[in-house]
């Protein structure tokens, strides 16, 4: 047997996908695993894109997207988040996932460290490791999910290439306060390191939200990752983007070009239509209602729940209810009451489960009933 790349050999398949696929083995399961919106893409957006696809040969797109879509993205950010981007700051990618993996490819040299906060999106560490970078885990679970200057200072070394923050946060549903962001921006502005802001849930916020894009002082060190999967319920379209300092544009462009040439033409068209005609599409209120209901219902059961402020997840501490580790706990719930959720260990934090609020209220209520039944039985 021929040896493969050592990093690839160590990779494990996504636990979220494992649970999602495990759930399909049960009938009548309530699947709260994968972070996929249940609210459909706007119907007229889809129809217009599909009509375009019928009437136009789908040729290779410009690598990184046309000037038109890049201008639309820049304007969207400027209008919504008070930034000063133009088309030259934008590179279109195959979803925020590829935006992120290509970002790491662009900036990481072997041995470089990327600081990520725990709990983290499970793909962050393997994506960094595949580029021979080292994920440095900054545990914010211990500081009540707050980032402070002190904790940042503790984790920064001469090898630090970037700090990666996911705001709003998957899995916690937390949103950073302006004060917290000021601390981070000041910290970055004093150093030669990048801030990678994964803002893919930026349009799903229940109260205030600020983008790092509005902090002028870190403009030459800020890389923003975003996309259409969550904001427009366009997961299967695989269309996302990178906002980067203009001086690095050609590097980001070449990294994605030599990974996959260019995004899918119809998805680029869909993104154009979304920004031109559906700027008022917003599903945040729907998720807010679900999040408030779920947080309160879970607390009644005995979970400890961080107040959700955005995205569509509840990250719930079950340590007062069960002594099982999070993988065994989620498998036990799935087996006994057919509710599928994701173990905290996927996100680097034991004693928690992540619940995706991507089913309607009726199903959420049924899930709560089943969880109540589960805890009555044990």
Among 27, 28, 54, 378, the residue binding its own copies under the rule CB under 8 A is 54
Q: How many residues bind its own copies (CB under 8 A)?
A: 77
**Taking the complex as a whole, how short is the minimal distance between the CB of residue 12 and its own copies, in angstroms?**
8
| CA nearest neighbour of 165 among 126, 210, 196, 201 | 196
Question: Whose Cβ is closer to its own copies: residue 95's or residue 344's?
Answer: 95
**Binders in 118-157 for its own copies, by CB under 8 A:** 123, 126-127, 130-132
By CB under 8 A, tell whether 3 contacts its own copies.
yes
By CB under 8 A, tell whether 13 contacts its own copies.
yes
By CB under 8 A, tell whether 251 contacts its own copies.
yes
By CB under 8 A, tell whether 97 contacts its own copies.
yes
Angle at 216 between CA 211 and CA 221, to 5 degrees: 85
**Binders in 256-315 for its own copies, by CB under 8 A:** 257-267
**Taking the complex as a whole, how short is the minimal distance between the CB of residue 223 and its own copies, in angstroms?**
10
**Binders in 170-229 for its own copies, by CB under 8 A:** 192-194, 220-221
Question: Whose Cβ is closer to its own copies: residue 264's or residue 359's?
Answer: 264
Among 98, 113, 180, 199, the residue binding its own copies under the rule CB under 8 A is 98
Residue span binding its own copies (CB under 8 A) among the ranges 246-254, 291-299, 318-326, 330-338: 246-254
Among 234, 243, 294, 321, the residue binding its own copies under the rule CB under 8 A is 234
**Taking the complex as a whole, how short is the minimal distance between the CB of residue 17 and its own copies, in angstroms?**
7
Question: Whose Cβ is closer to its own copies: residue 98's or residue 113's?
Answer: 98
Residue span binding its own copies (CB under 8 A) among the ranges 92-100, 140-148, 164-172, 211-219: 92-100
**Binders in 57-86 for its own copies, by CB under 8 A:** 57-61, 63
Among 85, 121, 187, 237, the residue binding its own copies under the rule CB under 8 A is 237
Residue span binding its own copies (CB under 8 A) among the ranges 38-46, 210-218, 284-292, 327-335: 38-46
Q: How far is CA 31 from the centre of its chain?
A: 19
By CB under 8 A, tell whether 359 contacts its own copies.
no
Among 29, 34, 286, 324, the residue binding its own copies under the rule CB under 8 A is 34
């Amino acid at each position: 047997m021929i040896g493969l790349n050592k990093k690839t050999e160590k990779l494990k398949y996504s636990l979220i996908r494992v649970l999602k696929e495990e759930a399909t083995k049960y009938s009548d399961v309530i699947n709260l695993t994968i972070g996929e919106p249940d609210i459909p893409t706007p119907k007229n957006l889809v129809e217009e894109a599909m009509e375009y696809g019928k009437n136009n040969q789908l040729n290779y797109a410009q690598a990184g997207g046309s000037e038109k879509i890049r201008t639309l993205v820049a304007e969207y950010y400027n209008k919504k988040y008070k930034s000063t981007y133009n088309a030259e700051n934008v590179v279109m990618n195959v979803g925020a996932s590829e935006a992120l993996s290509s970002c790491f490819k662009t900036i990481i040299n072997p041995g470089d460290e990327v600081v990520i906060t725990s709990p983290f999106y499970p793909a962050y560490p393997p994506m960094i490791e595949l580029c021979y970078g080292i994920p440095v885990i900054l545990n914010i679970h211990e500081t009540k999910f707050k980032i402070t200057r002190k904790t940042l200072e503790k984790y920064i070394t001469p090898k630090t290439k970037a700090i990666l923050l996911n705001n709003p946060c998957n899995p916690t549903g937390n949103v950073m306060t302006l004060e917290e962001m000021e601390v981070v921006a000041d910290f970055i502005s004093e150093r030669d390191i990048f801030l990678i802001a994964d803002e893919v849930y930026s349009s799903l916020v229940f109260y205030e939200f600020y983008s790092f894009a509005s902090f002028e002082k870190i403009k030459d060190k800020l890389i923003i990752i975003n996309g259409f999967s969550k904001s427009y319920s366009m997961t299967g379209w695989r269309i996302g983007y990178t906002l980067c300092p203009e001086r690095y544009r050609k590097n980001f462009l070449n990294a994605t070009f030599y990974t996959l040439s260019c995004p899918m033409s119809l998805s680029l068209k869909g993104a154009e239509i979304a920004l031109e005609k559906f700027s008022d599409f917003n599903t945040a209120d729907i998720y807010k209602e679900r999040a408030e209901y779920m947080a309160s219902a879970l607390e009644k059961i005995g979970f400890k729940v961080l107040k959700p402020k955005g995205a569509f997840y509840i990250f719930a501490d079950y340590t007062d209810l069960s002594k099982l580790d999070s993988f065994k706990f989620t498998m036990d719930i799935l087996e006994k009451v057919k509710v599928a959720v994701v173990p905290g260990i996927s996100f680097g934090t034991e004693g928690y489960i992540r619940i995706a609020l991507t089913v309607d209220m009726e199903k959420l209520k049924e899930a709560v009933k089943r969880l109540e039944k589960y805890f009555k039985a044990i």
